[in-house]
Each structure stands twice: as structure tokens, then as C-alpha cells.
Amino acid sequence: MIAASIDLGAHRKDEYLQAARIALDPEGAHISLDLTAGIAVADIVLTEIDRDRTGTISAEEAGAYAEVVRRDIALDLDGRPLVVDLIDSRFPSIESMRKGEGAISLELSAVIPALPAGARHLRYRNTHHADIGAYLANVLAPENPQVAIAAQKRDVDQRQLVVDYVLSGDSSTIAASSFLPDVVGALLMCAAVWWRQRSRPGDARS
């Protein structure tokens, strides 16, 4: 005899889960955003994507929807808005979305201008489908040691995440330092050419 009280309605059927992971370095913020519509709201989202009702998602439709989402994502640094660009998008089949399981994956990126060292505040805000949205927003542990996360502050629904971080070193210096090996290499090549020309006996005497 088996008995259980099963609440199948408990599965996230009526929400549009939007999970963002933000990678931060001195020169930019990169957002990986996964959007999964629950089975009860999948048709609402699909109506907005499959605009010609063909039952497939064309490249144009995918691009148009990704653009809608991009416009609903705002990033600002120390109160100044950053330009958010769409880098890549992947769409699942309509069939898997209708089952409430297929996830749309977007890669977004914003350039952070060169900044002096100090405390910084990056604000991420997602207003896409606030009517049915459920949100996750997390900053990844920085790979660049010049970025140290001090705090993450969110609103109760995680539509907004403010990342307080400390930038050590000057990011303009950091950017310039990335060219240093090239510059040194070029100088060494010039020196080598000069030395070879100087060493040729004929050339030296003429």
C-alpha cells in the first residue's frame, strides 16, 4: 500500500525563470542569462517569439526576441549607464519550450571604461516579463585578482542586484600593460636587426 500527497502544481509551471550569472573584470561585465518558461506560461512567451505562427523559431524571430530581452536588461556602474550588447543567443525547440523545459540562453556584455582604483558599484536590473518572472542573479567569483567583491545587494525578487567591488590598480594601466609584451617584442626585434646590420663587415667599412 503506497500513499502520498502529491502537489504536481508545485513545479514551477506558472513562472518564467530568468537566471543571470555575471562575470566581472576590470574592462567589462559579461552576463549569461538563461530563460525558462514554465509549462503554464510557455505559450505567452512563444506567442512573442513565433510571431508568424509557423511553429518554428526563425533566426529573425530569435534575434528580435533576444533584442527585446536585451532592452529589458540595464547595467550601470557608479550610477552611469553602460551599453549592453547582445553577444550570442541560443533558442531551444518550440516543442521543448511547450513542455516547460527548454531554456533560451543569451550572452550579453558591457564594456567598462578605464577607471582608477577604488570602490565601485555595478547595478544589474532585469525588468523582462515582471508579470510572470522569477529571477536569480549572482556574480561569479572574479578570475581577475584586481577585482574583489565586497557585497551583493538584491531586492527581494532578485530583479535587481548591486555588486559592490573594489578595483585594485588602475584599469587604464591594466589595459596598457596588456600591450607591454608586444612593445618589448618589437623593441627586441629592432635591436636584433640593428645589431645584425652593425655586425656585417662590408657594411661597417663602406
Pairing of strands 84-90, 80-82: unpaired
Cα separation of 54 and 65, whole Å? 16
Calculate the alpha carbon distances from 132 to 18, 23, 75, 115 in Å.
10, 26, 22, 38
Residue 12 makes contact with other proteins by CB under 8 A: yes
Interaction between residue 180 and other proteins (CB under 8 A): no
User: Nearer Cβ to other proteins, position 19 or 74?
Assistant: 19
Provide the minimum distance between the beta carbon of 123 and other proteins in the complex, in angstroms, as a whole number.
15
Interaction pattern, residues 129-168, with other proteins; x per rule: CB under 8 A: -----xxx-xxxx-------x--x-xxxxx----------
How many other β-carbons are positioned within 10 Å of the β-carbon of residue 22? Answer: 21
- Closer to other proteins by Cβ: residue 5 or 56: 5
Q: Which is nearer to other proteins, 51 or 121 (CB)?
A: 121
CA–CA distance, 97 with 51 (Å, rounded to integer): 15
Q: Is residue 144 within 8 Å of 186, Cβ to Cβ?
A: no
- Select 88 or 203, whichever has its Cβ closest to other proteins: 88
Per-residue binder mask for other proteins (CB under 8 A), 87-106, x = binder: ---------x--x-x-----
Which one, 60 or 155, has the nearer CB to other proteins? Answer: 155
HSE-up of residue 168 (Cα within 13 Å, Cβ side)? 8
Which distant-in-sequence residues (6+ apart) come within 8 Å of 68 by Cβ? 48, 128
Residues interacting with other proteins, by CB under 8 A? 1-8, 10-12, 15, 17, 19, 21, 96, 99, 101, 134-136, 138-141, 149, 152, 154-158
